[in-house]
């Protein structure tokens, strides 16, 4: 496959095969800790083995040529090095272009490059295909221009590009998981301090099954920014009486005492942020002591809180998790990512996976009218250069 993709690169851009370098960044799935990142709480995501590949070669040209095998109809998108501002006509290429624009402020991008992308994460499914192309570009530009920027910095640059260049006001979870992921580990990240710990993901006779509602979810035009704004307004009110920096510092007990300061909607949103943060810390402890049953119970509570208090699930995600909860092989099931569509994450006993897919899939189709898709996830490493064919998982 690596050979075939290199051949396609050469057919598009010409040149010599030995000059092509290969970079990769994964997608991510969040096990628990949803809508807590921008509230200064904890998250527990892991990187996937699927993601975005970037085949690249530096040139002497004053321009960059972008091509994606996933968007062949867009053809080769050529961008001059002197004009790196956002351009709607450049569609998907704005993600890597934004990254180059950010690098240009930090190091000298003295000549262009050709890049050929291939991604195997379903787009818009809430598995962070955008953070994946950002970090794949970050490790590529960092290597091609010998910029020497550390991974944590690349993560922050990518989030900034998403916020300021693309215009999506996301937190840091996705870029962090994609950049810092580790094989067979989840990452417990405190999003306020950015301190983190890798937790071995020991699932014994169980696996992570991702179920896609196949309902497209537009982060930018969804209620995401509105949820964020409500939490910020509530925080401002709470800070008048409490010494807290973010909702991540707030306990359930404190919230109870200060509820009256908040509007009914703010109370619900903040209750989610606070209880979800507490659940995430507890889930990490449960995982560390091998108590998967408790972990699964916390996943269920997380979904219910996202449904009732944060109101970001919707009929499709609810149908998928409700079907999963009924299945005998399910240890835990909840929505993952921003919500409003996208995927659920499930921990399922291996021997029951075929019947899980069959039954949950059937029930979902009956309720919603179209099919869900299922993937058994493997937990992979973070963004990196790929030096050998065997490191590619296509
Ligand atoms: C999206 C955002 C993340 C995070 C999640 C919800 O994936 O990009 O920053 O807020 O939603 O947990």
Residue nearest to atom 2 of ligand 1 (CA): 170
Same domain, 364 and 324: yes
Same domain, 35 and 138: yes
Q: How far apart are CA 351 and CA 299, in angstroms?
A: 21
Question: 34: Cβ below 6 Å to ligand 1?
Answer: yes
Is the pLDDT reported for residue 393 higher than 80? no
Same domain, 18 and 159: yes
Inside any domain, residue 305: no
Same domain, 283 and 326: no
Same domain, 173 and 274: no
pLDDT range class, residue 220, cuts 50, 70, 90: very low
Is the pLDDT reported for residue 132 higher than 60? yes
Active site residue ranges: 174
> For residue 217, what pLDDT is reported?
62
Ligand 1 centroid – CA 309 distance (Å): 17
Inside any domain, residue 298: no
Residue nearest to atom 1 of ligand 1 (CA): 338
Question: 174: Cβ below 6 Å to ligand 1?
Answer: yes
Q: How far apart are CA 285 and CA 219, in angstroms?
A: 31
Is the pLDDT reported for residue 347 higher than 90? yes
Inside any domain, residue 299: no
Question: 170: Cβ below 6 Å to ligand 1?
Answer: yes
Phi and psi at 50, nearest 5°, equal -90, 160
pLDDT range class, residue 221, cuts 50, 70, 90: low
Is the pLDDT reported for residue 165 higher than 70? yes
The pick from 27, 41, 131, 171 for probing ligand 1's pocket by mutation, whose C-beta has the most ligand atoms within 8 angstroms, reads: 171
> For residue 388, what pLDDT is reported?
74
According to DSSP H, which parts of the chain are helical?
2-13, 94-104, 129-144, 151-160, 173-180, 224-238, 252-258, 264-288, 292-308, 315-326, 353-368
Is the pLDDT reported for residue 219 higher than 60? no
Residue nearest to atom 11 of ligand 1 (CA): 338
**Nearest Cα residue to 129 out of 68, 50, 15, 229:** 50
Question: 173: Cβ below 6 Å to ligand 1?
Answer: yes
The pick from 43, 337, 341 for probing ligand 1's pocket by mutation, whose C-beta has the most ligand atoms within 8 angstroms, reads: 337
Its pTM stands at: 0.96
Same domain, 334 and 244: no
> For residue 233, what pLDDT is reported?
98
**Nearest Cα residue to 175 out of 346, 37, 284:** 37
Ligand 1 centroid – CA 352 distance (Å): 30
Q: How far apart are CA 129 and CA 127, in angstroms?
A: 6
Ligand 1 centroid – CA 307 distance (Å): 16
Inside any domain, residue 385: yes
Mean pLDDT, the chain, rounded, equals 95
Ligand 1 centroid – CA 232 distance (Å): 16
Which token pair is 333? Answer: 């099931």
Q: Are 187 and 176 in contact (CB under 8 A)?
A: yes
Same domain, 159 and 94: yes
Strands 113-119 and 63-68, how do they pair? parallel
Is the pLDDT reported for residue 392 higher than 90? no
Is the pLDDT reported for residue 78 higher than 50? yes
Same domain, 141 and 272: no
Residue nearest to atom 8 of ligand 1 (CA): 170
Ligand 1 centroid – CA 345 distance (Å): 15
pLDDT range class, residue 218, cuts 50, 70, 90: low
Question: 276: Cβ below 6 Å to ligand 1?
Answer: no
Same domain, 126 and 77: yes
Q: Residue 251: which domain range?
A: 224-292
- To the nearest 10 degrees (0 to 180), the angle between helices 292-308 and 264-288 is 170
């Amino acid at each position: 496959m690596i050979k075939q993709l290199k051949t396609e690169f050469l057919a598009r851009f010409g040149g010599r095969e030995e000059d092509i370098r290969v970079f990769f960044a994964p997608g991510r799935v969040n096990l628990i800790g949803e809508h807590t990142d921008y509230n200064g709480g904890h998250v527990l995501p892991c990187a996937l083995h699927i993601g975005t590949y970037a085949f690249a070669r530096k040139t002497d040209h004053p321009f960059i040529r972008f091509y994606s095998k996933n968007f062949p109809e867009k053809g080769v998108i050529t961008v001059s090095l002197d004009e790196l501002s956002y351009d709607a006509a450049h569609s998907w290429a704005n993600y890597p272009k934004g990254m180059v624009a950010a690098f240009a402020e930090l190091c000298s991008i003295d000549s262009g490059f050709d890049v050929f992308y291939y991604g195997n994460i379903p787009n818009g499914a809430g598995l962070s295909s955008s953070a994946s192309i950002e970090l794949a570009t970050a490790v590529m530009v960092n290597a091609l221009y010998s910029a020497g920027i550390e991974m944590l910095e690349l993560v922050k640059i990518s989030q900034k590009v998403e916020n300021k260049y693309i215009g999506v006001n996301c937190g840091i979870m996705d870029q962090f998981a994609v950049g810092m992921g580790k094989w067979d580990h989840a990452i417990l990240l405190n999003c306020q301090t950015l301190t983190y710990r890798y937790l071995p993901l020991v699932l014994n006779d169980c696996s992570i099954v991702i179920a896609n509602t196949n309902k497209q979810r537009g982060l930018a035009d969804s209620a995401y920014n509105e949820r964020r704004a409500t939490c910020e307004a509530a925080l401002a009110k709470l800070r008048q009486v409490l010494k807290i920096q973010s909702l991540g510092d707030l306990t359930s007990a404190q919230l109870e005492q200060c509820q009256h300061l908040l509007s009914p909607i703010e109370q619900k949103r903040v209750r989610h942020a606070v209880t979800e943060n507490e659940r995430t810390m507890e889930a990490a402890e449960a995982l560390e002591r091998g108590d998967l049953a408790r972990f699964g119970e916390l996943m269920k509570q997380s979904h219910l809180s996202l449904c009732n208090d944060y109101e970001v699930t919707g009929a499709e995600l609810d149908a998928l998790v409700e079907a999963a909860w009924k299945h005998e092989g399910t240890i835990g099931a909840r929505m993952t990512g921003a919500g409003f569509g996208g995927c659920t994450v499930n921990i399922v006993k291996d021997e029951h996976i075929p019947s899980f897919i069959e039954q949950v899939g059937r029930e979902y189709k009956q309720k919603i009218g179209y099919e869900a898709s299922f993937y058994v996830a493997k937990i992979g490493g973070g963004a990196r250069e790929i030096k050998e064919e065997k490191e590619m998982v296509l």
